Amino acid sequence: MGSGKQPLLKRHFDRELQQLKKRILSMGGIVEDLIVRSIEALRSRDRSLVAEAMRIEEAIDAEEVEIEEDCLKLIALYQPVAGDLRFIAAVLKINSELERMGDLAVHIAERARDLSAFGDIHVPTDLRRMGTDVQSMVRRSLESLVNQDSELALQVLQADNTVDEHHRRMFDFVAEQVQADPTQTMPLLHLLTASRYLERIADAATNIAEDVYYLAEGEIIRHRAELAE
């Protein structure tokens, strides 16, 4: 709110800000759920899970549009400044990240469909563990936002290193397996793609955590290589 605070207007604004927080958290929950289902689709190669993932993604898309409208309305109506404005600007960006994660999760599910054209292929433990790690990063990045918890945001940044490590191992695993049995090249490349999508979801969670850290500490870390690498 601007400097000339009007108690009633301020109360309205605070209430709407709370609703915005709830809304973005709930969208985060849906995205998390979608990630879990996509990994499950990859493991089980159950086509009905792929269709379901697509339906969930549509709901996420619609929600993104509405949250963006909410943010712009809040700015236009209450003309917030300083921390409040910064928070809403962060939500605008985080909203886009969540929608992007939804897209990526669906791409993973689509790879499950591609994989189902091949015979049985083992989904390495690394990939499944990566899925769990990424899901936890998404949850913690959103929690760090609503609680303005910069410590938790830092944890997300650190977790990203682990995910990158998993992905590097997947890269080596695929390279090795392809050389051992070139006839498996296509399904193995699909697995590698799924791993890369997971890595990108982790990157999006990292973007959120970096914004949260900036919001809480007023310090830009998104470009501090020593933390991110």
Binding-site ranges for its own copies (CB under 8 A): 58, 61-62, 65, 68, 71-72, 75-76, 79, 81-82, 85-86, 89, 92-93, 96, 171, 174-175, 178-179, 182-183, 185-186, 189, 192, 196, 200, 207, 220, 222-223
Token couple for 142: 């959103």
If the CB atoms of residues 8 and 76 are measured against its own copies, the closer one turns out to be 76
Amino acid type, 88: I
Rounded to a whole number of angstroms, the minimum distance from the CB of residue 139 to its own copies is 22
Longest dimension (CA), the chain: 71
If the CB atoms of residues 85 and 136 are measured against its own copies, the closer one turns out to be 85
Q: What distance in Å separates the CA atoms of residue 18 and residue 13, rounded to the nearest whole number?
A: 9
Token couple for 210: 């970096």
Token couple for 183: 């006839």
If the CB atoms of residues 59 and 129 are measured against its own copies, the closer one turns out to be 59
Q: What distance in Å separates the CA atoms of residue 107 and residue 102, rounded to the nearest whole number?
A: 9
If the CB atoms of residues 132 and 224 are measured against its own copies, the closer one turns out to be 224
DSSP class of residue 81 equals: -
Rounded to a whole number of angstroms, the minimum distance from the CB of residue 92 to its own copies is 6
Rounded to a whole number of angstroms, the minimum distance from the CB of residue 162 to its own copies is 19
Rounded to a whole number of angstroms, the minimum distance from the CB of residue 154 to its own copies is 19
Q: What distance in Å separates the CA atoms of residue 206 and residue 27, rounded to the nearest whole number?
A: 17
Amino acid type, 30: I
Rounded to a whole number of angstroms, the minimum distance from the CB of residue 26 to its own copies is 19
If the CB atoms of residues 12 and 196 are measured against its own copies, the closer one turns out to be 196
Burial (Cβ within 10 Å: 0-12, 13-18, ≥19) of residue 186? middle
